[in-house]
Amino acid sequence: MAIFRKDSVPIAEAVSGYPDPWNLGRGFLSYRHLTEAGGLTQFGIALETLHPGKQSSQQHWEEHEDEFLYMLEGELTVIEDESETVIHPGDWCCWKAGVPVAHVLKNRSGKPATYLIAGSRIPKNVCHYPGLDMLATDAGYTHLDGTPYPTKGENE
């Protein structure tokens, strides 16, 4: 199917997959996986809403995956390394694969912020989290020395 209606994809509540102590919990953002509904495999696009007072992820950069954001409603603070920029509807951001600009979104406003987020789906990607003892690989989260973090249930 090529055509989808506005509310045809259900809203999902984000649940952080980061290992402790970096886990963000649940409910920090909600999203609709738009390209999942269409069965697309080469890139992913989601309609995300970051809730007030929350952040989207841990600050990171990707070795092999391009990322793109287009702001629709509200305002976000985009943190890139040590620089902060507030963006509004109509603004967009591009993070090129392999360029070590660590970024994160924070909603410091009192209202939800909604945006389209897109990324390539390159296998064997490595995600770096500067300042944290953590990498994300196809095999899961590891410490910088390559030691895997326990998966949920292993340490409970």
Q: What is the pLDDT of residues 122-150, one digit of tens each?
A: 889 999 999 999 999 988 999 999 999 98
Burial class (CB in 10 A: 0-12, 13-18, 19+), 154: exposed
pLDDT higher than 60, residue 116: yes
138, 124 Cβ separation under 8 angstroms: yes
H or E stretch at 80 = strand 76-80
Q: Answer whether residue 153 shows pLDDT above 70.
A: no
12-124 has which fold?
Answer: Jelly Rolls (2.60.120)
Q: For 81, left (φ over 0), alpha (ψ -120 to 50), or beta?
A: left
Tens-place pLDDT, residues 63-77:
999 999 999 999 999
Average pLDDT, rounded, for the chain: 94
155 confidence band (pLDDT: 50, 70, 90): very low
**pLDDT value of residue 156:** 44
Least confident of 5-9, 92-96, 145-149, 152-156: 152-156
User: Does residue 152 carry a pLDDT above 90?
Assistant: no
**Six token digits for residue 125:** 């990607």
pLDDT in tens, 4-14: 999 999 999 99
Q: Where are the domains of the chain?
A: 12-124
